[in-house]
Amino acid sequence: MNSVVVVESPAKAKTIEGYLGDSYSVIASFGHVRDMDDKDGAVTPGSWSDIKWSLNNKGEKQVKEILSLLKKAEHLILATDPDREGEAIAWHIYELLKEKGAIQDIKVSRAVFNSITKKTKCKFNIKYEVSGEAFLTKPNKTTYMIQNTIKKI
């Protein structure tokens, strides 16, 4: 089975790809791929589901690359960091790919790497299969929105 693994940093992607082998393609997101629009009206008060997002330049390039890799894949593994930012990055990538119809026939999982060393090679656990917004809870999403709104002030 050919799998695409998305991590946050290019250094981590290179290391992990060397350990996982030929049936895995590992790509870095370079952090957040999109953010709230800079324009007024990006957030409708009282409606968290109507947020306007825009891809950043690096994100646009990386999403295109992920889309290209997914054409030959059966499994997408979102292996961004296990913190709130990593969860948000994974959610954004998932949502973008879902909007483009790129993951409808692909198994999608959220993974956490337990160990990435020469001795242990690369050990990771699939946290869960992804469906909908399962991996970005409302408190995480709310905190993310508040932080981004404050940054824009």
Q: What's the average model confidence in pLDDT over 95-101? A: 91
pTM, rounded to two decimals = 0.78
pLDDT in tens, 40-73: 767 777 766 677 787 888 888 999 999 999 999 9
| CATH code: domain of residue 51 | 3.40.50.140
pLDDT at 139 over 70: no
Distances (CA, A) of 136 to 52, 82, 147: 17, 11, 15
Residue range of the domain that includes 111: 3-152
Q: Round the average pLDDT of the chain to a whole number and report it.
A: 78
Number of domains forming the structure of the chain: 1
Q: What's the average model confidence in pLDDT over 121-130? A: 56
pLDDT at 123 over 60: no
Please enumerate in sequence order all residues whose Cβ is within 8 A of that of 91, keeping only pairs 6 or more positions apart, or say none: 133, 135, 136, 141
CA 93 to chain centre: 4
